[in-house]
Chain A
């Protein structure tokens, strides 16, 4: 998996590509934890090139919401169909706005 995290004045953009699963989720999580003490207003996941997301990956998203951006708006941009379905079926779309 490849990832790229950018933060600018409380606006976070996280680019994900490849597959986000148990083998790499914890590494991404460690990176994201660095944002924990900042005042985050919005979080955008750019996932056009993300092909697969496993439960560990979903937990990263939940973690991001709960520990980093409790009051931030969250968006998922251009998910592939399979990723979008997994997110919908597991109920994450409740706090995650999906933008095609």
Chain B
């Protein structure tokens, strides 16, 4: 039955309206109209500004009568709006006293912090008209979508294999051969490929509305435009990036993204979003008024006692995440993405900022992180922290977790990179990393560790073995940006080469890295394109490059199909052998009579953890525990030394035989054998490993 109070009580410029409901925040469709609700603690007055789509001049400006303010919330229902053709914003009046934290400007038209869709940048890269006063315009959406019974997949954490990708980079290159390159719709066309590769979780770089023209500039050397390409700078936290949708120009980005999620789920692939709550696109005191600064600066931002912006993010400002109002906004946001978009999990960029109090000090029990860990709606969502920030807080292994939070394991990346380039000092650490980092996550278990060697930040896998130094000149910052701590080795020549020996070594080093990654406990993640040696030409910080530097070159898939095949079979090997993915640390011997994981040197049971480039890892899988037909053993031999070595193998029960699964020294297709096609090892006592190579053996009946 319709409510009896849905009739207008007021009229202004011919538009009918009445007092609205304070919750939910944002604009919601109600019988007969649209309910608007916006919070501001310090604003004295608020005006609702209504536009027809794409028009510069509003068709109405409706001041909120005083009786429409409930506490610190302004709310009204406006009747008879053509909501699909509507764009809206607010004007907020209040004090301009920067030293007190207030920066109200009643002339600015502000984006609704709770807008569910935002127009203004619907077509990627279309140069904006900066003279227009209202750049990012709130829209109203109808939250209906036919999910056909879909729900988040709720996979066990230990079963995930995460593939990190930028929406545009994945398919923008013409070699991707998709109908609408660089869009959500195009990813749908790549689902069969992702299935074949065998990943089961797609982690997308930021998809919240951002402005690719933020800090955009022309590189004076090349004449090329540089963009805010990665998008780690949200304009709004509830709206998908319209420019990532082929249908964005029709205002249908919401449906297009939901449809992608639905299709990925149908194909058993989860979706994790990279979310950036540490700062916004408004920059510091010199930045633009987009939304929060003008709505309630003092509430939304961490400010110094003098009223300047703290910069723990390295991006000009810091969102005041542990203010109760902002905390609730973040919670509302994640609940919205989890419930309306069926998102499976979130990776929090510079998450340590979320652990700082309102003065910027790290807290022992940050309320936001605790709230998210215990939230009922997020109860099955993966929560993953990038456990550091740009203000010097580094919490890998110590991020407040309540048993719910996993972390990007930066130690894993550093140790594996060091080991494969030949630093024997890390061998002790490598044993920890392969076990799932019990030194860091003793209480939480291996699944607290997101293991990775490469991610969007830094070199691609190919570049890790092709460059000693970063080559970021194209970023226009004299190669000063991007990390210098790459732990990379070019194998003899900086950059591309035709030297067959170097090419062979590079391919082998990539396979070595992938082998360690996929045979470590914890949750593996790799960067999209690493499976076919995609290159960024030595750029280790391609945040501004909307061109071939960032775009995956799918021609390389044909050129490096052997590496793709190796990667694919390795993923499948991991899935077939659950001893590799156990979610708990083990000690003592198990039902096989062996420790579940043991470490060895060239001689079995004689490991030297002081400084060594040879390491044997034996996994012993009891049949009953892992539901196998018989006990099973996996031996990973790693020779990261520049000389060859004989590895003497640990004895396994007499009725078991060693079979070769993989040998990174060999060329495709002999470098890896699919399940059932493994080759019996001729000499069951020992195996020779070529310089810088890895071997996987399977010991079974």
Contact = CB atoms under 8 A, between A and B. Distances in A.
Interface in B247-271: 247, 250-252, 255-256, 258-259, 262-263
A91 B146 contact: yes
Given A55-B255, A91-B258, A91-B263, A86 B250 contact: yes
A56 B84 contact: yes
Interface of A: 21-23, 25, 53-56, 58-59, 62, 65-66, 85-86, 88-92, 94-95
A45 to B, nearest CB: 16
A80 B341 CA distance: 29
Given A55-B252, A91-B255, A23 B263 contact: no
Given A86-B247, A91-B263, 18 more contacts: A21-B84, A22-B83, A25-B84, A53-B250, A54-B251, A55-B84, A56-B84, A62-B144, A65-B146, A66-B146, A85-B179, A86-B252, A89-B180, A89-B185, A90-B255, A90-B259, A91-B258, A91-B259
Given A86-B250, A90-B259, A95 B84 contact: no
Contact of A58 (B82, B179, B245, B252): B252
Interface of B: 82-85, 142, 144-146, 148, 179-180, 183-185, 188, 245-247, 250-252, 255-256, 258-259, 262-263
Contact of B246 (A56, A65, A85): A85
5 contacts: A22-B83, A55-B252, A59-B142, A89-B246, A91-B145
Contacts of A62: 144, 146
Nearest to A25: B84
Contacts of A54: 84, 250-252
B146 A94 contact: yes
Could you tell me the dominant secondary structure of chain A's interface residues? helix
Nearest to A66: B146
B501 to A, nearest CB: 47
A28 B256 CA distance: 24
Identify the interface centre among A66, A89, A95: most chain B CB within 10 Å of its CB. Answer: A89
A23 B252 contact: no
A23 B185 contact: no
Nearest to B86: A22
A21 B184 CA distance: 23
B85 A23 contact: yes
B146 A89 contact: no
Contacts of B82: 22-23
A55 B250 contact: yes
Nearest to B255: A90
Contact of A90 (B84, B148, B183, B256): B256
Nearest to B256: A89
B146 A95 contact: yes
A22 B180 CA distance: 25
Nearest to A63: B144
B246 to A, nearest CB: 5
B142 A89 contact: no
A92 B252 CA distance: 12
Nearest to A56: B84
